[in-house]
Amino acid sequence: MAKIIITGGTGLVGKRLTELLVNRNHEVRILSRNPQTPNEYKWDPSSNEIDEKSLVDVEYIIHLAGAGIADKRWTSERKKIIIESRVATANLIFSKIKELQIPLKGFISASGSNFYGAKTGATIYAETDKAGTDFLGNVCLQWEKAATQFETLQIPVTILRTGIVLSQKGGALDKMKTPIVSPLGSGKQYLSWIHLDDLCQMYISAIEHNFCGIYNAVAPEFHTSISFSKLLAQKIRRPFLPISVPGILLKLVFGELAIILLEGSRLSSKKILKDGFQFQYKTLSKALDQLFQK
């Protein structure tokens, strides 16, 4: 049994991950601005505050905290919040771990599949490829730099560059289940995706099987906006309209944020497969069947 802290533990991934870890007899502590339950501990990154009781004998920290990328339009202030909610929180944890000389067995951090930039092309990105030069590439680069500083304390670091997380409730899939399902923009952009339970198992593997390093946390099967939408429509028995939602309309509605809807790359999952991870949901068809219980 490991003692684990999760930041962002009340979010989509954090809730399911906590459930699975507890089922495996691990002790999970959640850092929260407003603690509500016995396993939640107060922290306030804006004032560099962490309840040090949460750090007693802790062995692993899973860093999921971060303002939603697609929750609001990207004003200059929102961009600042997106970065600081990831980087400043990791920096706070790092300073406390260093100050208290806590010998963590691992620091495990989320990152984004847009590390390589929000763009569509022929490249299938591996973990050794460079970060993109756009806003999202910069967010992920700073996010990961904040995580890798733990290596200076001889603490192993694992980073999961996560695609679109598919779940039964909440997340991107809820927004895709429109009365008439249709692709976005050109429809040729790729959607790197992963089933929620496969993603959680990757975090668990970092603890139980010593997965260490940087991994693309995406399923092996590639889909474009067109192929994804068509299969989703079939699975939920709703009409599929092959006419795409125009990119110019999405830009008017969402501003700069629309790029995450209009562009997307393929990411390789070869590294994590080579290291022994077994996907439960390798194909989108199987993932959707499970999510919609068919």
CB 201 within 8 A of CB 13: no
Q: What is the mean pLDDT of residues 154-176?
A: 93
175: tokens are 């927004």
Confidence of residue 245 (pLDDT cuts 50, 70, 90): confident
Report CA Rg, the chain. Answer: 19
Yes or no: say if 219 and 194 are a contact pair by the CB < 8 Å rule. yes
Q: How confident is the model at residue 171 (pLDDT cuts 50, 70, 90)?
A: confident
Instruction: Quote the pLDDT of residue 265.
Output: 96
**Which of the 8 DSSP states describes residue 53?**
G
Which residue is listed with tokens 């022929």?
A: 122
- Give the C-alpha separation, 284 to 62, whole Å: 27
Q: Do 28 and 76 contact (CB within 8 A), yes or no?
A: no
pLDDT confidence bin for 252, thresholds 50/70/90: confident
Q: Exposed, middle or buried, 57 (CB in 10 Å: 0-12/13-18/19+)? A: exposed
Interacting residues of 240 by C-beta distance below 8 A, sequence separation 6+ = 180, 181, 182, 229, 230, 233, 234
174 falls in which pLDDT band (50, 70, 90)? confident
CATH superfamily, region 3-291: NAD(P)-binding Rossmann-like Domain (3.40.50.720)
pLDDT in tens, 73-110: 999 999 999 999 999 999 999 999 999 999 999 999 99
Is pLDDT above 70 for 294? Answer: no
Is 221 buried (19+), middle (13-18) or exposed (0-12) by CB count in 10 A? middle
Mean of the per-residue pLDDT values of the chain: 94
| Tokens (6 digits) for 44 | 């306030």
- pLDDT over 90 at 175, yes or no: no
Q: Quick one: pLDDT at residue 253?
A: 86
| Mean pLDDT value across residues 232-243 | 93
Q: Mean pLDDT across the stretch 127-142?
A: 96
Percent of the chain with pLDDT over 90: 84
pLDDT at 169 over 90: no
Least confident among 17-21, 68-72, 167-171, 290-294: 290-294
Domains in the chain: boundaries: 3-291
pTM of the entire structure?
Answer: 0.95
Structure tokens at 260: 């995450």
The pLDDT value recorded for residue 280 is: 97
Phi, psi at 172, each rounded to 5°? -70, -35
| pLDDT at residue 244 is higher than 90 | no
Question: In the 8-state DSSP scheme, what is residue 118?
Answer: S
